[in-house]
Structure 1
Amino acid sequence: MTASVFTCLWRQLLPFLIVLGLALPAAAQEFLDPLVAFKPEAKALDDKTVEVRYSIAKGYYLYRDKFKFAAEGATVGTPVFPAGKKKHDDNFGDVEVYYKEVAIRLPLETAQSGPVSLKVTAQGCADAGVCYPPQEQQLSVTLPAPGSVSAAPAAAEGDALGDESGHIAGLLKNAGFWLAVSSFFGFGLLLALTPCVFPMIPILSGIIVGQGHHVSRSKSFLLSLAYVLGMAVTYAALGVVAGLTGTLLSAALQNPWVLGGFAGVFVVLSFSMFGFYELQLPSFLQSKLSEEASHLHGGHLAAVFAMGALSAVIVGPCVAAPLAGALLYIGQTGDAVLGGVALFAMALGMGVPLLLVGFSANTLLPKSGPWMEAVKQAFGVILLGTALWLVAPVLPAALVMAGWALLLIVPAVYMHALDPLPPRASGWQRFWKGIGIVMLLAGAALVVGLAAGSRDPLQPLKALAGSPSGGSAVAAAPAVPFTRVKSVADLDARVQAAGKPVMLDFYADWCVSCKEMERFTFSDAKVQAKLAGFTLLQADVTANSADDKALLQRFNLFGPPGIIFFDAKGKEIPGLRVVGFQDAPTFLQVLQRAAPGT
């Protein structure tokens, strides 16, 4: 069975692989147009400094001493070049050249802020032997008003950037192809059990269980593989689009209607697990598909592939450091091939637990009988929990807590938590009754905590925790007093008026890692004491509006969570960006570096 599936897939993929194999050598023998081989772009670092960055194609280089710069209505100072690579050139002798990328800083003297037209000239060659004449291009850059906020000068350079996403972008720039790809597979393994991936396990498990007790190990593994490939292809495609456009599509889909619709799919699936109905197509379509599926054992593969793709978009929109690093690399270099392959490898690493689920399903699941029905019902409850988890960010906290209480109490009743055991109860009956009692107690704790004013499902009784004398309740850790910023202009004004270090936090209601930072990091007493020395700003990008996108793009971020630090003069502190979740001890070290004297 398995061999026939792989044979069919191989026959479909083989023509594409042959075409790709023939195309690559042919493409390698053609020289690029100079406008493609050397791509310049310019951005303002502040009101008196512009950075001109050249992205250089693989196998090509630019001469350091051939650059020329001029500006209309402004005077260009002495350019600041980074160190290049020494090279013996047949045309110019011993020279200094740049491969892959070069960023040059230009001091500008101008009477006013606003748009400036730059004329940049560069000359380069290909390692294969052809040299190009000097290439002159016009660039436009807008100088900010004096004193406005900008990203750190080194923020786009992976080698100089101290934060993790910058180092990862540097890995892609400087490492070999296979080293970069294998490293991202390792990053995926590290991300495999994060809150962004873990919810996919019950989704896939529910799909496998829904196949019934006839599912074999090979079929369950193929279902898992189809799901993981759907997830991986989607991560790679959306990552490339995000890197080239600067917008994370999955963030745009995190709205109540989309989340509610996807949660509704899981509710429908869960009810079918409970036996309320059978999900099937009309008979005439079913017979046709059954006839086609007989040629390919495992006719549900395409549907499972699509579910994996949807899960990647809806369930896992978090921006962790490896993803941010890959998106940063793609955006800076335009190398969508390496960036996309790296993201594909990362998604495969994230899918390893899912493949293990598929491989072990045949061993772990009961073969037949009433146990199978019980397991299906258990996964129905898990799918309901997944649906609630999806919409939790857009629902009131009290409603979410009540939902978790119901998901614990109702199954506990069905597990006979309130019924006496029969006289000759088996060990399994006693075990399931014990599980039901635990679930019932947990659900009751949620109900009591909800009535007492608690809104944290993980700590429902915290509001009832009394003082040692039994007096008043202990107040929860106070929320961090962030001031919301609505636009880039609002941010500029507040940072310049602060007069002390500033922390800018990017947040969204749907961001799981943002919630983790609130619950486990910002609530820490030592962290809150250290934050007292900062002006605390927060950009809520839940709505993904034009202003939200502008704030993210200002700092080359693709989505939350992200934390930026500014010094007392309003300049970003290089190397201190926080992308993804950080625990309290690690974050304390970052705060100490951002403001050593506080």
Structure 2
Amino acid sequence: MALPLPSFPMRTLSFFSGVLIAAFAMAGTLGVTPVAAQNNSLKSTASTEQVRAELMAYAPQGVPVGQTGALAGTGASVAAGQSTQEAPVWVGLQLTHAPHWHTYWKNSGDSGLPTELEWTLPPGVMAGDIAWPLPRKFPIGQLANYGYDGTVLLPVPLTITPEYKPSAFSNTLDVKLKASWLVCRQECIPQDAEFALQIPLRSSTALNGSAFEAAFKSQPQQVEGAHRIELRDGGKRLSVRVEGLPSALQGQVLEMFPETPQVLLTAATPATAGQAPTPSTWSQRWDGKVWTADFPLSPDRSESPSMMPLVLVSGGQGWRAEVPVEGPWPAVAQAATVSPALEAALKANADSQPTTAPPNTAVPAATFMLALVGALIGGLVLNLMPCVFPVLAIKVLGFAQHAQDKRAHRVSGLAYTAGVVLSFLALGALMLGLRAAGEQLGWGFQLQSPAVVAALAVLFTVIGLNLAGLFEFGSFLPSRVATMEAKHPAANSFLTGVLAVAVASPCTAPFMGASLGLAVGLPAMQALLVFGAIGLGMALPYLAASWLPAVARMLPKPGAWMIVFKQFMAFPMFGTVAWLLWVLGQQSGIDGAAALIALLVALAFLLWAVGLGGRTRWSMTALSALALVLLAGAIGPNVVKPMEEAPASASVSTGQRWQPWSHERVAQTLAAGQPVFVDFTAAWCVTCQYNKKTTLNNSDVLAAFDAAKVQTLRADWTRRDPVISAELQRLGRSGVPVYVLLAPGRDPVVLSEILSVADVKAALGRI
């Protein structure tokens, strides 16, 4: 008697592929995760190679809605020395500069432009001026600039007027900002970005309080007195007199920063003791309690102010004096929109920059063909990933079943290939579309969604239980539905290809990272060709086998071994579920993983019950279905609820080897002269975990890190992080793993995705 041939039911794939498609669509619509739906759709950060910018808010007493006496002060009042606490709501742009780069103060000096902020606020809310922190002087050759390096916050007070009347359903004050700045080293690069932020109306906002308090302390204090500026030497020099400074400053050397641009000679140097004034030097002295200075005018002067605000700085503290000018000004030089020095710097920068293709432009044919070959090879290597093996093992049963049916074999191969290629194209198009809409996404983004991870865990549990023999679909489905697989074997193969892509795409492999990184910057058609090449590479082994008769003849004939093999293949399925539960635990915490385990047990109970016979079947099915519904309502939300992150100060100790990655930590470490190794990883990335166990935790590698005094940082991309996504894009990658070694004064070194001890030690030996 012929034994029944086991096969994977098309009905299971059909149903759960629909669940997965819905989960993917929801992930794309809602920003991939529930947290993203609430926060990450608003971009509060922007990063370039030179600057990381972040929009921040500070409202320790909340937003005073409907309080007529709670109007915020303006930037001018703060600059005039009034208390910064007059403004109950503050927003600000924090700029973190890469080493040796700087942006500019309100008076940028000879060759810069001040940072500009353009706000979009609800009716009844007004933004004041920037409360500029104390600047520093940057001499550059014969020029000098005023500005900031390191990290600086530019705070701005908000005025909440009685006319601000949010709707009853509004919980936030929506703030939008368009900012532009000029960042310079020896060359200058204009940059701009748009930001958005939501400030809670009914709770305090003090997460960034320390940054704002530091900015407030860096504000100059107002000095009152009979100050005076006199024009001398035929209007070529200014004599400055400032009274009322603290007595502790008497006898000290002060730095002077004029707020009015293009008046004084910014690059003037202090005169030595006893030196006569020259056209390029300035001098200062104390006449009792009065500070006086003699300063040359700029030959390119374009302003003739009657009042000159001056900021005097000593020891990190500042004082501001509004000084009237006495005497007639000489004729001014012709005003220029951009100073000649800045224009020359921008032109030199443009000439020195290598010509690169702007985003979404075609690349040379040779480069594009290399990307296609790399994508094809990367797709081939995906078949070796352990997350793909359980799905491909299902097809082994199909191979054996159709070993003597050449036509069925070929149809199955074509259908499987179509499922794989079209799925890669669909995921690629979704990612490109979301990125074009402004989302910071990378390849594998679907497994950053707890909903998608949970759906895959449910799907693999059902597959495993079916393969183990716990239930058969034919026992509770109508006969017409139960025979659909026999009538539509091609659809079964197609959906198997879809499933294979769903679990394989996050497993980036050698040659694949660079190709995907290139693809996201190509025109849509070329980018989709790269994604299609990855799918073709993944499906190629099965496609070739289905069309080569020699492979079919090598397969064993159908028999009893297939039942044993079918039951054995349930265990890789359950192993995949265990991996997915671990991934979910990294996203939703132990409560989310435990909730999904309980729901999977309840689902298994239901599937067992519907396979029973007689009256017992109906009573047990009703009981198990009720239990599943009650559990889903009680603990189901925990599955997709994002885990709250502990503050970095509480979760990371200074001596811990792998510190969390951030732009600030990289910049600070490099500025201290220490190399940095960054591991861009994710819990759902199998290659990442393999490299971590075999290489990054290797004692020889750790000893090499210590010998080279390398700071090791880890950028965890398990959950969606737009900042990490942007950094991966800057490195020319679109997924993880990515390993980067940085050393002061050197270009970043990106290592291979399949990491070895020898690779890491060789890279460390070159720094």
TM-score by length of 1: 0.51
Q: Which residue among 454, 466, 483 is the counterpart of 1:272?
A: 466
Indicate yes or no: 2:490 matched with 1:301.
Answer: yes
| Alignment match, 1:336 | 524
Distance between the aligned counterparts of 2:558 and 2:534, measured in 1? Answer: 37
Deviation at 1:390, TM superposition (A): 4.3
Indicate yes or no: 2:428 matched with 1:239.
Answer: yes
Distance between the aligned counterparts of 2:740 and 2:144, measured in 1? Answer: 26
Deviation at 1:247, TM superposition (A): 0.8
Give SS of 1:503's match.
strand
1:229/1:308 contact within 8 Å kept: yes
Distance between the aligned counterparts of 1:287 and 1:379, measured in 2? Answer: 22
Distance between the aligned counterparts of 2:472 and 2:728, measured in 1? Answer: 45
Give SS of 2:712's match.
strand
Distance between the aligned counterparts of 1:366 and 1:273, measured in 2? Answer: 20
Residues 1:202 and 1:362: Cα distance change in structure 2 (over 3 Å): farther
Distance between the aligned counterparts of 1:211 and 1:262, measured in 2? Answer: 25
Q: Which residue among 735, 753, 758 is the counterpart of 1:585?
A: 758
Deviation at 1:217, TM superposition (A): 4.0
1:177/1:338 contact within 8 Å kept: no
| Alignment match, 1:286 | 481
Higher normalized helix content (fraction of residues): 1
| Alignment match, 2:713 | 537
Which residue type is aligned with residue 371 of structure 1? Answer: W
Deviation at 1:317, TM superposition (A): 0.2
2:738/2:752 contact within 8 Å kept: yes
User: Which sections of structure 2, spanning at least 5 residues, go unmatched?
Assistant: 1-45, 53-105, 113-142, 155-177, 183-189, 195-210, 212-348, 587-592, 594-654
Residues 1:363 and 1:158: Cα distance change in structure 2 (over 3 Å): farther
Residues 1:385 and 1:111: Cα distance change in structure 2 (over 3 Å): closer
Q: Deviations over 1:249-291 (max 9, x none)?
A: 633424555334323323322333343332358427528958x
Distance between the aligned counterparts of 1:368 and 1:282, measured in 2? Answer: 26
1:485/1:491 contact within 8 Å kept: no
* Identity between Structure 1 and Structure 2 (%): 22
Indicate yes or no: 2:192 matched with 1:140.
Answer: yes
1:235/1:344 contact within 8 Å kept: yes
Number of equivalences: 371
Indicate yes or no: 2:436 matched with 1:248.
Answer: no
Distance between the aligned counterparts of 2:193 and 2:722, measured in 1? Answer: 20
Distance between the aligned counterparts of 2:516 and 2:179, measured in 1? Answer: 28
Which structure has the greater CA radius of gyration? 2
Distance between the aligned counterparts of 2:764 and 2:564, measured in 1? Answer: 51
Q: Which residue among 42, 45, 50 is the counterpart of 1:46?
A: 50
Question: Which segment drifts farther, 550-559 or 349-358?
Answer: 550-559
1:118/1:141 contact within 8 Å kept: no
User: Which sections of structure 1, spanning at least 5 residues, go unmatched?
Assistant: 1-41, 49-71, 79-106, 120-137, 146-152, 161-168, 400-479
1:239/1:343 contact within 8 Å kept: yes
| Alignment match, 2:678 | 504
Distance between the aligned counterparts of 1:202 and 1:249, measured in 2? Answer: 22
1:240/1:330 contact within 8 Å kept: no
Residues 1:511 and 1:495: Cα distance change in structure 2 (over 3 Å): farther
Q: Which residue among 749, 752, 757 is the counterpart of 1:576?
A: 749
Distance between the aligned counterparts of 2:409 and 2:574, measured in 1? Answer: 22
Distance between the aligned counterparts of 1:372 and 1:386, measured in 2? Answer: 21
Distance between the aligned counterparts of 1:159 and 1:235, measured in 2? Answer: 32
Distance between the aligned counterparts of 1:237 and 1:283, measured in 2? Answer: 33
Give SS of 2:536's match.
helix
Distance between the aligned counterparts of 1:320 and 1:287, measured in 2? Answer: 38
Deviation at 1:312, TM superposition (A): 1.6
2:670/2:743 contact within 8 Å kept: no
Distance between the aligned counterparts of 2:735 and 2:368, measured in 1? Answer: 28
Distance between the aligned counterparts of 2:749 and 2:670, measured in 1? Answer: 17
2:677/2:712 contact within 8 Å kept: yes
Residues 1:254 and 1:190: Cα distance change in structure 2 (over 3 Å): same
Q: Deviations over 1:496-527 (max 9, x none)?
A: 4x431111211221221211222221233432
Distance between the aligned counterparts of 1:344 and 1:181, measured in 2? Answer: 12
Structure 2 counterparts to residues 379-458 of structure 1, below 5 A: 379-393=569-583
Q: Deviations over 1:43-69 (max 9, x none)?
A: 854269xxxxxxxxxxxxxxxxxxxxx
| Alignment match, 1:439 | none
Which residue type is aligned with residue 481 of structure 2? Answer: Q
Q: Which residue among 680, 684, 688 is the counterpart of 1:514?
A: 688
Which residue type is aligned with residue 263 of structure 1? Answer: A
| Alignment match, 2:411 | 222
Residues 1:523 and 1:211: Cα distance change in structure 2 (over 3 Å): closer
Deviation at 1:531, TM superposition (A): 0.7
Higher relative contact order (CA 8 A, sep 6+): 1
Indicate yes or no: 2:258 matched with 1:258.
Answer: no
Higher normalized strand content (fraction of residues): 2
1:189/1:349 contact within 8 Å kept: yes
Q: Deviations over 1:177-215 (max 9, x none)?
A: 8834752365236624542xx543441331452698466
Deviation at 1:370, TM superposition (A): 2.2
Structure 2 counterparts to residues 36-185 of structure 1, below 5 A: 44-46=48-50, 111=147, 117=180, 140=192, 173-176=363-366, 179-180=369-370, 183-184=373-374
Q: Which residue among 557, 562, 566 is the counterpart of 2:738?
A: 562
| Alignment match, 1:60 | none
2:679/2:713 contact within 8 Å kept: yes
Which residue type is aligned with residue 248 of structure 1? Answer: G
Give SS of 1:350's match.
helix
Distance between the aligned counterparts of 1:515 and 1:158, measured in 2? Answer: 37
Q: Deviations over 1:2-55 (max 9, x none)?
A: xxxxxxxxxxxxxxxxxxxxxxxxxxxxxxxxxxxxxxxx9854269xxxxxxx
Give SS of 2:441's match.
coil
Deviation at 1:590, TM superposition (A): 1.7
| Alignment match, 2:281 | none
Distance between the aligned counterparts of 2:761 and 2:527, measured in 1? Answer: 32
Give SS of 2:520's match.
helix
| Alignment match, 1:67 | none
Deviation at 1:576, TM superposition (A): 0.9
| Alignment match, 1:206 | 394
Which residue type is aligned with residue 505 of structure 1? Answer: D
Distance between the aligned counterparts of 1:321 and 1:577, measured in 2? Answer: 13
1:506/1:538 contact within 8 Å kept: yes
Distance between the aligned counterparts of 2:50 and 2:144, measured in 1? Answer: 10
CA RMSD after TM alignment? 4.7
1:508/1:514 contact within 8 Å kept: yes
Which residue type is aligned with residue 714 of structure 2? Answer: Q
Distance between the aligned counterparts of 2:370 and 2:109, measured in 1? Answer: 42
